[in-house]
Amino acid sequence: MQAASYNTSLYARWEVIDRLLDYVDLVLCDIKHLDSEMHRVGTGVGNELILENLGKVAKKKRIWIRIPLIPNYNDSEQHIKEVAEFLSGNPVEKTSLLPYHEYGKPKYGALGRGYPLKGDNLVISEGKLKSLQDVIASYALPVTLRY
């Protein structure tokens, strides 16, 4: 038996996603950046397909949105406000803010690859996290902090 895997980006042809929806009750979708060029910088691909699929999935299945917060990339109040505005037009059951961590750093070393983020200001303060949570909550969206 093969282990199950998952992809939370929704970066796939709609026909593929639509076929899979018959087998799931809940879909998790990450939003890394709303600006397509910034999304491309961080992930290597634009986000148009992802956002289009998110809207379609939200009409058919329960959906939880996850926002991995990357310091100096997508953790500004302005960006989170834009995400909340976008999400407020969709039936989102839950939104989770995922503060940046370095749990994957040893894997990069084991693969002989350099870790992509460097610097001393990679930790997002509790105050900032609470502020970002409040921004999303102000749009009447359910929001949690997941560590």
Output DSSP code: residue 1: -
The 10s digit of each residue's pLDDT in 5-51 is 456 889 999 999 999 999 999 999 999 999 999 999 988 999 999 99
**Residue matched to tokens 């950046």:** 33
Is 19 contained in some domain?
yes
d(CA 49, CA 28): 16
Is 8 contained in some domain?
no
Give me the pLDDT at residue 104, please. Answer: 80
| Residues pairing with 67 in the sheet | 97
Is 121 contained in some domain?
yes
Q: Are strands 62-69 and 94-99 parallel, antiparallel or unpaired?
A: parallel
Range of the domain at 54: 14-145
d(CA 139, CA 135): 7
Is 84 contained in some domain?
yes
Is 94 contained in some domain?
yes
Return the CATH number at 102: 3.20.20.70
Give me the pLDDT at residue 6, please. Answer: 52
d(CA 73, CA 94): 22
Is 3 contained in some domain?
no
The confidence band for 84, taking pLDDT boundaries of 50, 70 and 90, is very high
